[in-house]
């Protein structure tokens, strides 16, 4: 009688411990694509290519100069490259009156590919986004970008807000000058 009761108690404790570990999913502010007002704009497909370590779905936090922490209970709600593509397309469309940036492919359109190597919070209170852009099918030239923005407040929610603000800075640095 004692063994079955012990098994019930152990199982109950194990299940209640698991229930305390809730998972949180995050979405980048501004990642709902907004088609800009009509006008004569050259369509440009926007592609985002992430460093392999960023493709795991976890939020990433640099906890020392040499180590990265991949959150175990804090994930991106959708594919991160797609969320960044949508948010950057919105920001680039605000910056440019000559190009129409779209996250989907159109036949025979120019392409802006953005390679992101870092997209993370850090122990020093800043977020970091760095990488470079490359144009295909236009006379535009690519740009390196290295964004560092202070995170206001602790926690992953504040980190995501700062990363979205960082994408605004990336858009400003890679936007065509027209």
Where do the domains of the chain lie, and which CATH numbers do they carry? 42-174 (3.40.50.10610)
Q: Is 49 exposed, middle or buried (0-12, 13-18, 19+ CB in 10 A)?
A: middle
pLDDT at 169 over 90: yes
The token pair at 137 is 């099918």
Distances 128 to 13, 86, 135, 164 between C-alpha atoms, Å: 40, 19, 23, 11
* Residues 93-151 pLDDT 10s: 998 888 999 987 777 779 999 999 999 999 999 999 999 999 998 888 899 999 999 99
* Residues 60-76 pLDDT 10s: 999 999 999 999 999 99
- pTM for this entry: 0.83
């Amino acid at each position: 009688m004692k063994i079955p009761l012990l098994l019930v108690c152990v199982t109950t404790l194990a299940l209640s411990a698991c229930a305390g570990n809730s998972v949180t999913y995050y979405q980048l502010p501004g990642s709902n694509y907004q088609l800009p007002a009509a006008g004569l704009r050259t369509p440009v497909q926007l592609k985002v290519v992430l460093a392999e370590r960023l493709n795991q779905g976890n939020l990433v936090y640099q906890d020392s100069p040499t180590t990265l922490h991949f959150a175990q209970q804090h994930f991106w709600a959708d594919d991160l490259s797609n969320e960044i593509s949508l948010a950057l397309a919105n920001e680039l469309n605000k910056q440019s009156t000559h190009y129409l940036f779209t996250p989907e492919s159109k036949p025979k359109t120019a392409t802006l590919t953005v390679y992101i190597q870092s997209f993370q919070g850090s122990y020093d209170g800043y977020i970091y986004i760095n990488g470079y852009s490359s144009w295909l099918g236009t006379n535009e030239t690519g740009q390196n970008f290295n964004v560092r923005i202070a995170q206001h407040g602790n926690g992953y929610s504040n980190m995501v807000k700062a990363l979205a603000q960082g994408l605004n800075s990336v858009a400003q640095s890679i936007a065509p000058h027209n």
